[in-house]
A and B are shown apart, each in its own frame.
Chain A
Amino acid sequence: DTGVSQDPRHKITKRGQNVTFRCDPISEHNRLYWYRQTLGQGPEFLTYFQNEAQLEKSRLLSDRFSAERPKGSFSTLEIQRTEQGDSAMYLCASSLGGLAKNIQYFGAGTRLSVL
């Protein structure tokens, strides 16, 4: 059984460019989450999906950010017109929803550097 997989692990881009990250959850998990973590801080919630439905979005998720989970399996997070403030680690997690315990298991993250 493989864990949560994220691609790429590192991304360097120039300001103004668009970037897209991919997350493959644990296969039987119906919930998928995106978080952003800046240096020295705890992760901050961005959004989550149950199957293909996006159930919650943080106010941190500006109009430049969009996330999809088209078939309820993998998910993509796109950032348009990147800014230097977008530089962070983007973490994906998955869980089996509907249970009180509902442990979220994380991937290794995608580190984004905007020059």
Chain B
Amino acid sequence: AQKITQTQPGMFVQEKEAVTLDCTYDTSDQSYGLFWYKQPSSGEMIFLIYQGSYDEQNATEGRYSLNFQKSRKSANLLISASQLGDSAMYFCAMRETRGGTSYGKLTFGQGTILTVHP
């Protein structure tokens, strides 16, 4: 069974500094996808970044980058130049992919609350 672990219940960072949110995963599949979502207090889940298990380079999307270490089964999110609007809950998630076809279910971690201080 798939499992996602986020060991940091809460993180604090000063505005304009960088912060890393940890995520480790467990799966027996060779092909899978890893995702990070942001959930502000309004409740909507906002997609941030995706990493495929066969992607050779770490994914980047603007200020977000994913540090993918396959051998360690980790997929940490790096947020550079933090902004006050980054304060939110962040979830790491994983989805199986078999034979090139993605399966539906996302498995989420417990989340990390990020607070950005001015």
Q: Is the CB of A48 within 8 A of B105?
A: yes
**Residues in B neighbouring A45, C-beta threshold 8 A:** 104-107
Report Cα–Cα, A99/B101, bound state, in Å.
6
At the interface, yes or no: A65 with Cβ under 8 Å from chain B?
A: no
Chain A neighbourhood of B107, CB < 8 A: 45
Tell yes or no: B56 within 8 A of A by CB. Answer: no
User: Which bracket fits the contact residues of B?
Assistant: 20 to 34
Contacting pair A42 B44 (CB below 8 A):
no
Q: How large is the interface on A (under 10, 10 to 19, 20 to 34, 35 or more residues)?
A: 20 to 34
* CB contact list, B1-52 vs A, under 8 A: 4, 31, 33, 35, 37, 42-47, 50, 52
The answer, among B37, B46, B95, for a CB contact under 8 Å with A102, is B95
Q: Which single residue of chain A is at the shortest CB-CB distance from B103?
A: A56
| B-facing residues in A57-115 (Cβ within 8 Å) | 58, 89, 91, 93, 97-109, 111
User: CB within 8 Å of B: which residues of A?
Assistant: 31, 33, 35, 40-45, 48, 50, 55-56, 58, 89, 91, 93, 97-109, 111
Which residue numbers of B lie inside 8 Å of A, CB to CB? 4, 31, 33, 35, 37, 42-47, 50, 52, 91, 93, 95, 97, 100-111
